[in-house]
Amino acid sequence: MSSNHFYHSSVWQVVVCKECRYAVWPSQVVGHLTNKQHKLGRKQAEAEWEEIQGWVGVAQYPSEFAVPLFVDGPIDDLALFDDGLKCGLEDGECPYVCRGMNTMKAHWRKIHGFSAGQNQGGSGILKKEDVERRISEHCRAVRCQRFFVQKEHSQYFEVRSSHNV
């Protein structure tokens, strides 16, 4: 099922914007379509919302949806990123995925109490090489996706396949 602007992902029970390639809660469809990016008139946006209201199997609230820890292949309607980083702490069992090293370092500090440069004396090239080695030991490059662009359920998840980075 699809409209002019949205796909219905029946597997994940979400509404995905065809242009943005992100999920949108049904209650936010009108606001999404009338924003600066889409610039759709209010009447058209409300007509889209009306159509979506008739779709069966669409999560209406965040409590009705769960983000996967990983998927075995890309979800077709969502944006796919090749620059993901997966946390390698907790023997590689931590599911955290992000797209920036500073974000990963903040995750390590906040969740694991870990810093790639902690307990390292000295300075210069040797220390830098040691820190880079520790970083590469504790995260790996992955492909990733996310359903929502902000707030609840906006975390990235790993896309596993033979095409991983």
pLDDT of residue 135: 74
- Write down which residue in 29, 48, 64 finishes a domain: 64
Hunting for tokens 């920036």 — which residue is that? 100
Closest by CA to 159, choosing from 76, 90, 88, is 76
Using 50, 70 and 90 to split pLDDT, how confident is the model at 162?
Answer: low
Q: Of 64, 95, 113, which residue is a domain's last? A: 64
pTM comes to 0.83
Do 114 and 46 lie in a common domain? no
Q: What helix, strand, coil percent values describe the chain, rounded to 5?
A: 30, 20, 50
Is the same domain home to 55 and 78?
no
**Domain range enclosing 127:** 70-159
Could you read off the pLDDT of 127-150 as tens digits, one per residue? Answer: 667 667 777 788 999 999 999 998
Q: Is 116 helix (H, G, I), strand (E, B) or coil?
A: coil
Query: Same domain, yes or no, for 80 and 133?
Result: yes
Q: How many domains does the chain have?
A: 2
Q: What is the mean pLDDT of the chain?
A: 88
What are the φ and ψ backbone dihedral angles of 106, each rounded to 5 degrees?
Answer: -65, -40
* Nearest alpha carbon to residue 54 among 3, 110, 12, 100: 3
pLDDT tens per residue, range 98-121: 999 999 989 988 999 888 765 555
Residues 146 and 110 in one domain: yes
**165 in a structural domain:** no
164 occurs within a structural domain? no
